[in-house]
Structure 1
Amino acid sequence: MNSTTWTRTLLGGLTLAAATVGAWWAWLGWETGYTVDPETGATSGPYAPWQVAGCVLTLALIAAVGGWLLSPWVVAPVMTITFTIAWAAHAAATDDTGLWAVGALLVLVGAALGTTVVSGGAWLIRRGRTGRSAG
């Protein structure tokens, strides 16, 4: 890997990590409360469905752009590890049951699958477009 590629990959990875933490914070990082339904006593939360959907869509956009500009071999691990650490650190600090570890494992698997599929798809589409325009 030449120095230009290495620098681009490093800066791209750092940008991906920052954008991933930003997405986590914007959608989920500020939420700490649970909601109790006064009629049924059922507890839900801490996230509302719209927060999770917004976070997933934002992460998908970041992964797609990342996959277009970089290799999925960079995008998937950087985003997966960054998001999992951000989520787990917050969850561990606010959870008294210890179940945050189970959630962190589920976040890790979901983030790995999602970022791999989206960034890989974007990379394949770009590669296909580049191949047609060159030929």
Structure 2
Amino acid sequence: MATTAPHDHRSAGVPAAATGLTFFAAVMLAIAGILDLFRGIMAIAQDDVFVRTPNYVFKFDLTSWGWIQLVLGAIAILVSIGLFAAATWARVVGVGIAALLIIANFLSIPYYPVWSLTLIALYGFTIWALCVVKPGSLND
């Protein structure tokens, strides 16, 4: 008599959900990274597009912020490529770069508030998606 092992339908769906969250994080990081890249180019090329708030505690030169946004956005795009390939290093670096970009966008709220808050939300979702994936399920 041949017996078959019991099949747990719930456990079969877990790797697919984890892969889906990793894919979601990769897409969010790529989109937000591209937006930050464009924002950096805007700030470098023509910083008079941005609103100036003279009484804000954190005052920075917009051209410097443009370079910061440009570099961090480019790194975010590269990390998202690693996430599409399901690399474990990309998951760790993705959380770190998203956290840095949340801080950078928080500090630039007075110059472009709606865009900053939108990107903070996108990076927050990215961190969430990367943190809820169980270790070892990236390659499933």
Larger radius of gyration: 2
Both proteins in one fold, TM over 0.5: no
Name whichever structure is richer in helix by fraction: 1
TM-score, normalised to structure 2, is 0.35
TM-score, normalised to structure 1, is 0.35
Q: Give the structure, 1 or 2, with the largest relative contact order (CA under 8 Å, sep 6 or more).
A: 2
